[in-house]
Amino acid sequence: MKFVRFEAHGETAYGSVEGEMVRQMTASPFEEYQVTDHAHPLSHVKLLAPVMPRKIVAIGLNYKSHLGDRKPPEVPEPFFKTSSSVIAPEEHIVIPKEAIEGSLNVQEEAELTVVIGRGCKRATKADALSYVLGYTCGNDVSARPWQSNDLQWWRGKSSDTFAPLGPYIVTDLDPSNLRISARINGRTVQDATTADLIHDVPSIIEFVSRAMTLEPGDVIMTGTPGQPEDIHPGDSVEIEIEGVGVLRNPVRAEQPA
């Protein structure tokens, strides 16, 4: 199935995408729900972020092509992004004033993003995927000097608008070999496959859930391949994952207060 969260006629709901139509659901896919006959053309609804996660676990250094001379980590390297940084498809990524003034560069990071469907603690590699509802596209937007110079990655990774998610949550997808790419203004800057993940999705879920209960709606961003590039006001950034779709966000400068 392909789930969307959307707004239509002032109402927010989940829906199931069938072709060019969205059929409204009675509840979220994390609850008991029914798909109703109340349908909207996909082009007439405003897509929202497909989930508002309580926590976003993101994995660093998880593709060899992204590591440069750094050694591959022996275990997954999680960090957190805040749910306050989540934005929907087509919403603007906002470049902070410091970047506009020239002391900062901001980059996109294309990431296969796992949406947890059922709570789990101490999942095993063998049963890990049974806790997954589906997959979406994520952009782990990153302000590099803040990421390298601050003790924590709090603003480098979680400044407002730094976690675009969407457009859909797609179920019944094998995450082990999906093409993943990023385009800036239509030019491909990242292009890889999730077969190149150093720590695959089951290994990440096993590792994270040893310490922390993963709850329905939590998301895991699994890391980015290759070499992201700087993004600037006026750019259009697209993250595409095979079988999931395209997450597009325009970019603008922070407005003066």
In angstroms, give the least distance from the CB of 93 to Mg ion. Answer: 14
Of the candidate spans 100-108, 109-117, 173-181, 208-216, the one that interacts with Mg ion by CB under 5 A turns out to be 109-117
Q: Which of 224, 239, 240, 244 binds Mg ion (CB under 5 A)?
A: 224
Of the candidate spans 14-22, 45-53, 218-226, 247-255, the one that interacts with Mg ion by CB under 5 A turns out to be 218-226
Residue 91 is a binding residue for Mg ion (CB under 5 A):
no
Let me know the angle formed at the C-alpha of 25 by 246 and 216, rounded to the nearest 5 degrees: 70
Query: Closest-CB residue for Mg ion?
Result: 140
Q: Give the length of the chain.
A: 257
> Closest Cα partner for 165 from 35, 64, 58, 78?
58
In angstroms, give the least distance from the CB of 142 to Mg ion. Answer: 7
Q: Pattern of binders to Mg ion over 135-174, x per CB under 5 A? A: -----x----------------------------------
In angstroms, give the least distance from the CB of 100 to Mg ion. Answer: 23
Q: CB–CB of 229/181 below 8 Å?
A: no
Q: Which of 13, 16, 17, 109 binds Mg ion (CB under 5 A)?
A: 109
- The amino acid at residue 188 is T
Strand partners, 245: 241
Choice between 9 and 71, CB closer to Mg ion = 71
- The amino acid at residue 86 is V
In the chain, alpha helices (H): 64-67, 97-100, 144-149, 154-158, 201-211
> Closest Cα partner for 61 from 209, 246, 196?
196
In angstroms, give the least distance from the CB of 205 to Mg ion. Answer: 17
Give me the residues that bind Mg ion (CB under 5 A), please.
109, 140, 224
